[in-house]
Structure 1
Amino acid sequence: MANSIRRYEGRHAVITGGASGIGFKTAERIVSEGGTVSLWDVDAAKIDEARDALGSSSTHGVTLDVSDPDQVEKAAKETAEKHGKIDILVCSAGITGPNAKVADYPIDQWKRVFDINIHGLFFCNRFVVPIMQKNGYGRIVNVASIAGKEGNPNASAYSASKAAVIGLTKSLGKEVVGDGITVNAITPATVDTPILQQLKPEFIDYMLSKIPMQRFGKVEELASLITWIASEECSFTTGAVFDISGGRATY
């Protein structure tokens, strides 16, 4: 994991969903560029595996459910106390929910998708921002989805929750513009991650058909974009949405 670029020397990042997929690959990039990371994830076993892979001296693991505000507040305080600050927050934890028409969508599953994808992301932003404000520096990257712009049929909860992520990001970005903090979102098309296992094969085929490049995104590609947005190099852009969709995005 040696890297001659040291953009993250002295920086500490919190990454939700950091034990796998996009979150893990982003953590790997940040560590390789001299930073340290706190992996916030619901799966304790995967956190241990991720720490072994990244190097335990560079990583800190917190097992939590982001949909519980008390757990998130506690994690933010403990992380800041342990590392002295939180410079970067990458919110990549999320679920797809079931594939169903709005008229048939299970109400309990609708609430669960929102609890994780937007309420959990809100809690993380809410409790980390004051820590960043205290230190006069911060980079927040919220992982939304192209579904939040266009809406995917039979995925209303996911699409609506990701649209809410975009709206929150734009609002917060304007609120903290004078505090040395930027807040941006990315809107990937379908990416080849374990989250695909939550989807029906026919829905996966539909998602692929919507991408002009005729392939899914790679976690490495998303991590590359995220780690630029989360670096000091990205200092002028805030409240923005970065598409990474293989040509699918139309605006």
Structure 2
Amino acid sequence: MTDRKTHIVITGASSGIGKALAMLLAGDKYLLSLCGRSDEKLEKTKRDLPSDSFYSESFCLSDVQQTSAFFKRAIEKHGSVDVLVNCAGLNNVRKTGLDTELSELAWLMEVNCYAPIRCIQAVAPYMKRHKHGVIINILSTVCLFSNPGIAAYTASKAALDAYTKVMRKELRSDNVKVLSVYPGGVDTNFREAQRPEYLQGEDVAQAIVTLLLTNQFVHIHDLVIRPQSEENFT
């Protein structure tokens, strides 16, 4: 082991859970690499951070070349990635399964499933080589409890959920932890109307930090976090 700081990559850091997590982790202990789709929102995140020990780029994770270049430059800046937190996601198709266009489904699959998998593939080889690493995918309780009207979003998150579970077994022998976080309702800009009774981004961010602080021999596979007001669970 070396004394170098832990390098953490956070996608979707321009708002919501990703921004809240960046705010919690910013400081002298970690080196952060942040990305977000909105340049304006990411700039605001950077201004709000209490430390300047970070690297950042704004782009859409659907862009394969930009994603690859971001990870290459982040690694050149801060060294190999110790922790990847896939926070970026999209939920803008609110239709029944019958009404959902396949092009709409394909877009959510690109953003919510394929993009985070590409991010994993960008860092996992380094983690395997060093026999150390943590990958955290922010999923959703839609993977656990089906709700009508969001078929495309549910399918895209469930696909990443299944992929995550396979990779957890595949990377275990290389001491790489693959963790799943399933938030329930979160009061972020995902929603058209404010829901103050729901979780805040900071609540989920605190739960993620708890996962990061566990003993090296502890592997918490799944963490479900819901607002107390939520009733749609078994």
When normalised by structure 2's length, the TM-score is 0.89
Aligned to 1:74, the other structure's residue is in SS state helix
Q: Which residue in the other structure is 2:60 paired with?
A: 65
Q: Which residue in the other structure is 1:246 paired with?
A: 227
Q: Which residue in the other structure is 1:112 paired with?
A: 107
Matches of 2:110 and 2:130 in 1, distance apart? 29
User: Using a 3 Å threshold, how does the CA distance of structure 1 residues 33 and 217 change in structure 2: closer, same or farther?
Assistant: farther
Letter paired with 1:152: N
Matches of 1:245 and 1:56 in 2, distance apart? 30
Matches of 2:232 and 2:6 in 1, distance apart? 32
Question: How much does 1:127 deviate?
Answer: 1.1
Does residue 184 of structure 1 match 2:179? yes
Hey, which of these two has a bigger chunk of helix by percent? 1
Contact 1:14–1:89 (CA<8 Å) still a contact in 2?
Answer: yes
Question: How much does 1:178 deviate?
Answer: 2.0
Matches of 2:214 and 2:143 in 1, distance apart? 27
Matches of 2:134 and 2:223 in 1, distance apart? 15
When normalised by structure 1's length, the TM-score is 0.84
Q: Which residue in the other structure is 1:211 paired with?
A: none
Q: 1:142-195: CA deviations, max 9, x gaps?
A: 000001111220100111111112111111111111222100111111101111
Contact 1:14–1:86 (CA<8 Å) still a contact in 2?
Answer: yes
Q: Which residue in the other structure is 1:83 paired with?
A: 78
Matches of 2:198 and 2:216 in 1, distance apart? 26
Matches of 1:51 and 1:119 in 2, distance apart? 27
RMSD: 2.3
User: Using a 3 Å threshold, how does the CA distance of structure 1 residues 175 and 116 change in structure 2: closer, same or farther?
Assistant: same
Aligned to 1:57, the other structure's residue is in SS state coil
Q: Which residue in the other structure is 2:30 paired with?
A: 35
Letter paired with 2:211: I
Aligned to 1:195, the other structure's residue is in SS state coil
User: Using a 3 Å threshold, how does the CA distance of structure 1 residues 72 and 232 change in structure 2: closer, same or farther?
Assistant: farther
User: Using a 3 Å threshold, how does the CA distance of structure 1 residues 29 and 172 change in structure 2: closer, same or farther?
Assistant: same
Q: Which residue in the other structure is 1:44 paired with?
A: 39
Question: How much does 1:246 deviate?
Answer: 3.0
Question: How much does 1:56 deviate?
Answer: 5.8
Question: How much does 1:33 deviate?
Answer: 6.8
Q: 1:78-102: CA deviations, max 9, x gaps?
A: 1111111111100010011221111
- Structure 1 alignment gaps of length 5 or more: 1-8, 209-213
Question: How much does 1:109 deviate?
Answer: 1.6
Contact 1:12–1:35 (CA<8 Å) still a contact in 2?
Answer: yes
Does residue 225 of structure 1 match 2:207? yes
Counterpart among 98, 114, 133 of residue 138 in structure 1: 133
Matches of 2:65 and 2:50 in 1, distance apart? 29
Matches of 1:249 and 1:196 in 2, distance apart? 18
Question: How much does 1:215 deviate?
Answer: 2.6
Letter paired with 1:94: G
Shifted more, 186-195 versus 56-65: the winner is: 56-65
Matches of 2:206 and 2:131 in 1, distance apart? 25
* Number of aligned residue pairs: 230
Letter paired with 1:245: R
Aligned to 1:150, the other structure's residue is in SS state coil
Q: Which residue in the other structure is 2:146 paired with?
A: 151
Matches of 2:33 and 2:232 in 1, distance apart? 32
